[in-house]
Amino acid sequence: MSITANWSYPTAIKFGAGRIKELADHCKSVGMKKPLLVTDRGLASMPITQGALDVLEAAGLGRAIFADVDPNPNDVNLAAGVKAFKDGGHDGVIAFGGGSGLDLGKAVAFMAGQTRPVWDFEDIGDWWTRASVEGIAPIIAVPTTAGTGSEVGRASVITNSETHTKKVIFHPKFLPAVTICDPELTVGMPKAITAGTGMDAFAHCLEAYSSPFYHPMSAGIALEGMRLVKEYLPRAFKDGTDIEARANMMSAAAMGAVAFQKGLGAIHSLSHPVGALYNTHHGTTNAVVMPAVLAFNRPAIEEKIAAAAAYLGISGGFDGFADYVVSLRAELGIPEKLSALGVGTDRIDEMAAMAIVDPTAGGNPVELTLDAAKALFHETI
Ligand SMILES: [Fe+2]
């Protein structure tokens, strides 16, 4: 393990119930006079979205919205969003929603200033330095779920509509200038989405904590993020109007994304191909494979997980922690097998080949070989 790393930490976060009312003030503080709110189709007509547009309009900032965004945002959505941004003469983006609205909004703000194709900025080496910085529009992020953490991240996941592969597009300027974390916006989330997105936040914390890279700041944040999920996800699941629980899950989600600068691992490596081929819910898929990956990683992380269990108030060390994950999953109504999400065994070879080259595989504490990935799919489907 090397004690050398490049660290950065996130942005101005305006946290608290009802703080969406400050949206126009924050637009003005970053120089936006004519913002474009980017969200997904499902959210476009929802009261929380219309409420945000009302705040903008009342402050003389208009109520422009672009919502032609698929659940897995792609390059076609992106081109249409950039066109809407330019045609409307906008000067900033409000990225609003779950992962899809946030990721596409951030990408629109970035691509508004570029002449090269978006794939030239994939998160490979120093490709991000190819970008022209001047034309990148400011971003305000407003999450409406508690899981992705994209509101504090410097990347977006965009699907290539020709190859059907998901690409991570990275630039430091993807980091929103301001993030408004208003837990009231998450109150209307359906139970299954609360469960799935919450388990995504837990997976981010668990995998970041377990990765072998040296990043003690992130390790600490990951540990406290797991504690918040343990205490508050069951409450948010049982009673969606429990604002204290919703708020703490929103914190846990942001903390998970901050923490995973330290790396992710095989939970995500397995989950990504499953999602790409079967369109399953990302966080739910993570939760299904989590116990098997935990057991697979045991030789490398047994002591670390025992320490986490002690911090979380779980007795029994590693075994106690593993039992806790299984019981949490059951409490949230998440199935034990991927077959319950519609995944078959016929594409295991293909998915295993995708898993071992997934960018997250390098952060797994035990090497994810092709045989190991196949075995994990056989075990979890
Ligand atoms: Fe995730």
Burial class (CB in 10 A: 0-12, 13-18, 19+), 141: buried
Phi and psi based region of residue 60 (left: phi greater than 0; alpha: psi -120 to 50; beta: remaining): left
> What is the whole-number distance in angstroms between the Cα of residue 268 and the centre of ligand 1?
6
> What is the whole-number distance in angstroms between the Cα of residue 31 and the centre of ligand 1?
32
> What is the whole-number distance in angstroms between the Cα of residue 56 and the centre of ligand 1?
31
> What is the whole-number distance in angstroms between the Cα of residue 72 and the centre of ligand 1?
13
Stated pTM of the model: 0.93
> What is the whole-number distance in angstroms between the Cα of residue 47 and the centre of ligand 1?
27
Q: Return per-residue pLDDT of the chain as tens, 381 residues.
A: 555 444 435 899 999 999 999 999 999 999 999 999 999 999 999 999 999 999 999 999 999 999 999 888 999 999 999 999 999 999 999 999 999 999 999 999 999 999 999 999 998 889 999 999 998 999 999 999 999 999 999 999 998 888 878 889 999 999 999 999 999 999 999 999 999 999 999 999 999 999 999 999 999 999 999 999 999 999 999 999 999 999 999 999 999 999 998 999 999 999 999 988 888 999 999 999 999 999 999 999 999 999 999 999 999 999 999 999 999 999 999 999 999 999 999 999 999 999 999 989 999 999 999 999 999 999 999
> What is the whole-number distance in angstroms between the Cα of residue 272 and the centre of ligand 1?
9
Tell me the pLDDT tens digit for each residue of 178-198: 999 999 999 999 999 999 999
> What is the whole-number distance in angstroms between the Cα of residue 356 and the centre of ligand 1?
17
The closest alpha carbon to 368, from 149, 207, 220, belongs to 207
> What is the whole-number distance in angstroms between the Cα of residue 29 and the centre of ligand 1?
31
- Quick check: 30 and 94 in contact, CB under 8 A? no
pLDDT the model gives residue 71:
83
> What is the whole-number distance in angstroms between the Cα of residue 256 and the centre of ligand 1?
9
- Amino acid occupying residue 298: R
Report all structural domains of the chain as residue ranges with CATH numbers, in order of start.
Answer: 5-185 (3.40.50.1970), 189-380 (1.20.1090.10)
Tell me the pLDDT tens digit for each residue of 279-334: 899 999 999 999 999 999 999 999 999 999 999 999 999 999 999 999 999 999 99
- Tell me, letter by letter, the H, E, C secondary structure of 126-139: CHHHHCCCCCCCCE
- Quick check: 133 and 173 in contact, CB under 8 A? yes
Beta strands in 39-109 (DSSP E): 65-66, 92-97
Burial class (CB in 10 A: 0-12, 13-18, 19+), 54: middle
> What is the whole-number distance in angstroms between the Cα of residue 34 and the centre of ligand 1?
32
pLDDT the model gives residue 10:
81
> What is the whole-number distance in angstroms between the Cα of residue 212 and the centre of ligand 1?
18
Beta strands in the chain (DSSP E): 12-15, 35-38, 65-66, 92-97, 139-143, 155-160, 165-170, 178-181
Burial class (CB in 10 A: 0-12, 13-18, 19+), 246: buried
pLDDT the model gives residue 279:
84
> What is the whole-number distance in angstroms between the Cα of residue 90 and the centre of ligand 1?
31
pLDDT the model gives residue 140:
97
- Quick check: 360 and 272 in contact, CB under 8 A? yes
DSSP structure class, residue 122: B
> What is the whole-number distance in angstroms between the Cα of residue 200 and the centre of ligand 1?
5
